[in-house]
Structure 1
Amino acid sequence: MLKFIGEVLQTGMRKISTCQLCGVDLQQNHSLCLDCWQNLPWYRQSIERHEHKIMVACHYRFPIDRVIQKYKYENQLHYQTLLAHCLLNIRLPKVQAIVPMPISRERLIERGYNQMLVIAKILSRQLHVPIWQPVIRSAQHSQKGLSRIERLENIEQQFQINKTEINKYKKVLILDDVVTTGSSIHALTQTLENLGCTQIYAACIAAGAIKLK
């Protein structure tokens, strides 16, 4: 009953709330008006990084780039619904569990939240799939100035198996916000394979261009 009342109240609020981007027209369940939603820099295709196929919802261009930055670095958590619906707008595979990209303890203290865990909780409710966090991340260091091989080695050392996690899943979906080189997804995939996962998919909100040196 309480859940039903909550859904009714949320629906009512959407009917009187304006679009989070233009602030003019009424928002839909993704928190944007129809025009703003349709005019996002959609990509809805897969890209390949380190021999991994990664499903991508949008290009990392305006306005989605600014939305992600505000959500991730400026505590503007009201964008979580929009970003979650971007992922729900692509064809996601049926999996046994969702694995949000882990962040280090230092980043968690600094930011106050794992941005992808917040979004994963929305997808978990929508897709009726549990969240699984079998990997922890050590201190995250800057990748600036490192070669491709050095970047991979640096990131691979950051991911460690969470020995307190007892659940086991074979078919999982990694969620991340922005993919560029794909090094983080590659490292997390390898760690999940070491845990016994046999089918590992990855989906990102947006894909940025790789800067060539």
Structure 2
Amino acid sequence: MLQFINPLFRKIIQGIASCTLCGIDRNHQHSLCKDCWQQLPWSKSTVQRQEMNIQVACHYDYPIDRIIQKFKYEQHLHFQNLLAGTLIELHLPKIQAIVPMPISTQRLLERGYNQSLVLAKIMAKQINVPVWQPVSRLQQYSQKGLSRLERLDNIEQQFQINSTSKLRYRRVLILDDVVTTGSSIHALKQKLEQLGCHKIYAACIASAET
């Protein structure tokens, strides 16, 4: 009996919870009220970076830019359902696994979590595919002052294939929070191709100007 009551109770609480953004109207979708959800800076389009098509849910404008910053740098994890919800709105292709953008051990220690992995787990549950992490990331350095070619070379050297990974998937989705130049996605894509991936797609919450 208790196993039935608890999920029902949670559903009732979610139904009367207030909007995460305005705090006034009732939670309607992905922790937002209907008006706040509709007023997000939606893009739902495809941008091309490094000769790769990347699906993006929103423009990197207010309030999504501030939400991402709080989620990524200030440990506001209550935004995870909202951000994952924007990605679910995309018309994603059929895939076998989701590959979250890896972060270095240093960044992981600083933040306490990989924001892309948090979102990937929610997405994977929604579309019933596994999260796959066959590539790790070494020390991440600042790109300031570097030319375009130097930036690409610097980023490509940050990624390495995990020798312990035995799984293989042919159709995968790279998941990241924000795309600017697309250099990180391109570098990760190259490693996945080395692992035998034939179809590599990418999706981000938002795209920012390069």
Do both proteins adopt the same fold according to a TM-score greater than 0.5, normalized to the shorter chain?
Answer: yes
1:71 equivalent in alignment to 2:71: yes
**Percent identity, aligned pairs only?**
62
The structural deviation recorded for 1:52 is 0.2
Structure 2 match to 1:23 = 23
TM-score between the two structures when normalised by the length of structure 2: 0.96
State the distance in 2 between where 1:196 and 1:108 align: 28
Q: Where does the alignment leave 5 or more consecutive residues of structure 1 unmatched? A: none
Distance 1:83 1:154 in 2: 29
Residues 1:50 and 2:50 aligned together: yes
In the alignment, what sits opposite 1:121? 121
- Cα distance change on mapping 1:149 and 1:165 into 2, 3 Å: same
**Cα 1:103–1:15, aligned 2, differ >3 Å: closer, same or farther?**
same
Checking the alignment, whether the CA contact within 8 Å between 1:14 and 1:29 is kept in structure 2 is no
Residue matched to 1:11: 11
1:173-184 paired onto structure 2 within 5 Å: 173-184=173-184
Query: Could you state the TM-score of these two structures normalised by the residue count of structure 1?
Result: 0.95
Secondary structure, counterpart of 2:23 in structure 1: coil
Residue 81 of structure 1: aligned partner: 81
1:104·1:137 contact (CA, 8 Å) conserved in 2? yes
* Distance change in 2, residues 1:37/1:163 (3 Å): same
Q: Is the 8 A contact 1:56 1:206 kept in 2?
A: yes
Distance 1:3 1:190, change over 3 A: farther
How far apart are residue 24 of structure 1 and its match? Answer: 0.4
The structure-2 alpha-carbon separation of the partners of 1:93 and 1:10, relative to structure 1 and needing over 3 Å to count, comes to: farther
Separation in structure 2 between the aligned mates of residue 6 and residue 207 of structure 1, nearest angstrom: 39
Show the 5 A alignment for 1:48-197.
48-197=48-197
Q: Does the residue aligned with 2:142 lie in a helix, a strand or coil? A: coil
| Structure 2 CA distance for aligned equivalents of residues 10 and 29 of structure 1 | 15
Give the 3-state SS of the residue equivalent to 1:21 in structure 2.
coil
The one-letter code matched in structure 2 to 1:17 is A
Cα deviation code 1:152-210 (max 9, x no counterpart): 00000000001111111010000000000000000000010011100000000000011
Structure 1: distance between partners of 2:174 and 2:47: 15
The two structures, once aligned, show a CA RMSD in angstroms of: 1.4
Determine the structure 1 residue equivalent to 2:207. Answer: 207
Contact 2:172 2:200 in 1 (8 A): yes
Mapped contact 2:99–2:173 kept (Cα < 8 A): yes
Q: CA deviation at 1:28?
A: 2.1
User: How many matched pairs?
Assistant: 210
Question: For residues 124 and 2 of structure 1, what CA distance do their matches in structure 2 show?
Answer: 28
What is the alpha-carbon distance in structure 2 between the residues aligned to residue 3 and residue 99 of structure 1? 33
* Superposition deviation, residue 8 in structure 1: 2.9
